Structure 1
Amino acid sequence: MITDLSDFTIFSDLPKDSLSQIAPLLKERNFKKNHVLIFENDLSEEVYLIRSGKLKVYRLSEDREIILKIASPGEILGEAEALSNHNYRISTVEALENVSAWQLEKQDFLRIVEQYPSVLRNAYTILIERIRMLNRLIRYLSFYDVRTRTANLITDLYYNFGQWEDSICKIDLKISQSFLANMIGVTRESISKTLAEFQAEGILDIRNKYFYVINKSKLESICNHTEEFPELRKWDNQ
């Protein structure tokens, strides 16, 4: 669990005495798995600093969801709306597991931005990284077949949530077939077929909804039509 404000990218340039002035403005919040912190198009103003747990950020259309990103400890959520001219939420945010966060009111956040220009610069940096990630998602959805989309997404997850266990890389995130399908805009049946192919080819193993990358080079060879360098696959929480 994150206990120091300096571990958040948005506050990483502030000296300790400035962080100590911000700390009293924070309200500790804890959310259970499946709790929705933010609803798309809702009018709300809170900003959240994620201390522990993972969340999904998504949009809904006719009861179908498309997952835009997975948020992790060290990220800030809601700051884009706070800096905007209106408070309508851009997307829905739901806890994938139990989540601990600090809540910051919009007016307090705006006062911090006004007092510390580096916070605004970091907010812009975070926004640019999110735009980069969304551009990659749009490319997946627009140009690639299911096999290439799936390989690219698993590669992204490898670079962001991969942990080594007994010489095999485990993606430290429970992933159902429906969840994966919602991240790349395909049907669960298509994902099921593609994952079965990856397992048969010795690329991937799946145990209890955890993905294990067995052959990374073969996985990345399926992504050879993308221009992404490995370091650009890192999301803004890293």
Structure 2
Amino acid sequence: MNKSDCKEMEHVCASIVPIFSTLDTDELRKINSLIQKKEYAKGTILFEQEDPANYLYIIRHGKVKLYKMSKNGRKQIIRILEQGDFLGVLSLFSDEHHSLSAEALVDTGTCLISREDFKNLIRQNPEMSLGVIHALSKRLSYTEKFITDLMLKSIEERLVTWLMLLAEKEGKVTPQGILISINLSRNEIANLLGTTTETVSRKLTKLQSEEIISIKGSKTITILNKEKLEALIND
């Protein structure tokens, strides 16, 4: 692909989504013609559970948290979505309402494909179905692991596993260690890991006192000793 092609492809949202990986450039451009681009400021709700599910959402940039609200008002974060992730596909197939709510953790850009346009794409490109099945299988595997971790791992192990995952996905290597940015509040981290805010703060302080991590403010953590951190979940 030459430079001009690359420049054009920068604006093809579908090109960053795994379920469209089997499509060629022309087909991707066709999908792009169906897409509506929408920006959400940090803290904006994309949709709430029980809202009609009319669109497939693709994360073009930014981060989105998916969460479930209980009847007593407790919020359980289910997953954090990033560039290239998509949401809403199950509801599109089952003609149901959204079962979860979605909120922008940072300023976020999305691409929206309507329910009917997406179904037509599947009919016209049957191989896309395999991409959808593969992506949903990965999500199911993630969900099973997440539930297992909540049931079997200690709070410290869950926290360490989460930090290691962040370091692997988006950590920046510096002379001091691996720098990771946290877009969640302490309360949201606790909610994600199935514990309390106080416990998260206490565990992070303990890791810092042992010189395994360094905390700067509430949004930045540097992993100073990756080997010691990994040892906490491998013992």
Same fold (TM over 0.5): yes
1:168 partner amino acid: G
2:111 partner amino acid: W
- Whole-angstrom CA distance in 2 between matches of 1:182 and 1:3: 35
CA contact (8 A) 2:176 2:224 kept: no
Pairwise mapping of residues 136-151 of structure 1 onto structure 2 (< 5 A)?
136-151=145-160
- Whole-angstrom CA distance in 1 between matches of 2:16 and 2:152: 37
Greater alpha carbon shift after TM alignment, 147-156 vs 189-198: 147-156
Partner of residue 3, structure 1: 11
**Aligned counterpart in structure 2 of residue 172 of structure 1, from 178, 181, 201:** 181
**Aligned counterpart in structure 2 of residue 134 of structure 1, from 120, 132, 143:** 143
Contiguous gaps of at least 5 residues in structure 2: 1-9
Show CA shifts across 1:96-126 (max 9, x none).
Answer: 0111111110000011111112322111111
Q: Is 2:212 aligned against 1:217?
A: no
Partner of residue 75, structure 1: 85
- Whole-angstrom CA distance in 2 between matches of 1:93 and 1:144: 27
**Aligned counterpart in structure 2 of residue 192 of structure 1, from 197, 201, 205:** 201
1:210 partner amino acid: T
Greater alpha carbon shift after TM alignment, 171-180 vs 136-145: 171-180
CA contact (8 A) 1:3 1:51 kept: no
Change (3 A) 1:174 1:206: farther
Pairwise mapping of residues 1-238 of structure 1 onto structure 2 (< 5 A)?
3-4=11-12, 5-61=14-70, 62-83=72-93, 85-166=94-175, 168-208=177-217, 209-224=219-234
Aligned with 2:234: secondary structure? Answer: coil
- Whole-angstrom CA distance in 1 between matches of 2:48 and 2:114: 17
Aligned with 2:11: secondary structure? Answer: coil
- Whole-angstrom CA distance in 1 between matches of 2:201 and 2:182: 18
Alpha-carbon deviation of 1:167? Answer: 5.2
TM-score, normalised relative to structure 2: 0.89
CA contact (8 A) 1:6 1:13 kept: no
When Rg is computed on C-alpha atoms for both structures, the one with the higher figure is 2
Contiguous gaps of at least 5 residues in structure 1: 226-238
- Whole-angstrom CA distance in 2 between matches of 1:148 and 1:37: 32
Change (3 A) 1:49 1:97: same
1:146 partner amino acid: I
Alpha-carbon deviation of 1:3? Answer: 2.6
Aligned with 1:103: secondary structure? Answer: strand
2:170 partner amino acid: F
CA contact (8 A) 1:48 1:101 kept: yes
Q: How many residues align?
A: 223
CA contact (8 A) 2:105 2:184 kept: no
CA contact (8 A) 2:57 2:111 kept: yes
Alpha-carbon deviation of 1:32? Answer: 1.0
1:157 partner amino acid: L
- Whole-angstrom CA distance in 2 between matches of 1:203 and 1:175: 21
